[in-house]
Amino acid sequence: LEVAVHDRDEIDAVSPSGPDEIELLQEEATALAELVEARDALLAAAGALDADGDEPSAAQLVGGALSALPRTLTAARESLTELMDQVREVRGELLASLQRIEDDPERLAHLDQRVGRLRDLVRKHGGSLSDVLKRREMLDDEVIRLESDDKIALELEGRLAGLHVRLGAEEA
């Protein structure tokens, strides 16, 4: 009984939400990691579009080409002006996207810890989280049965003691 109660309580302490919880948590962790990678790529792209460093940015290159073109090439100047506007617009969109990306190392650590605890349960109690949940139900049934058996055993011991008392009284 004690082992069954311990195992049941151990599963309850982790409280798996369903048979696919590990996969769902791993998907969330992957999505968070991909967002961080995307943020780094967006930062690089925004920097390339309008950088202040040693390398000329796309905006600087287009601006330089625009200033070098003679005014007689109206169509080319208009195209370059539109390109400059697009570069600025894309850079603004990238920066807005960057502001929406949250690096959440605490959430990632929580996900890793939760997956670890669930995997520990799987290693100890079954081949999959679904097996662990089935084992939890089986343990609950077993605990109920064993507790019932204990009650019956106590009742029988009490009746037996009563019979011993009566037998002793009849013999005396």
| pLDDT number for residue 114 | 96
Q: What is the pLDDT of residues 114-165, one digit of tens each?
A: 999 999 999 998 889 999 999 999 998 898 888 888 788 888 898 888 888 8
Q: What's the mean pLDDT in 33-40?
A: 81
Q: What's the mean pLDDT in 26-55?
A: 79
Residue 52 has pLDDT above 80, yes or no: no
Q: What is the pLDDT of residues 79-89, one digit of tens each?
A: 888 888 887 88
Average per-residue pLDDT in the chain?
86
Cα–Cα distances in Å, from 62 out to 43, 45, 47, 70, 130? 20, 16, 15, 14, 59
Place of tokens 């570069």: 87
Q: What is the pLDDT of residues 58-75, one digit of tens each?
A: 778 878 888 888 888 989
Torsion of CA 66, 70, 72, 74, to 10 degrees: -10
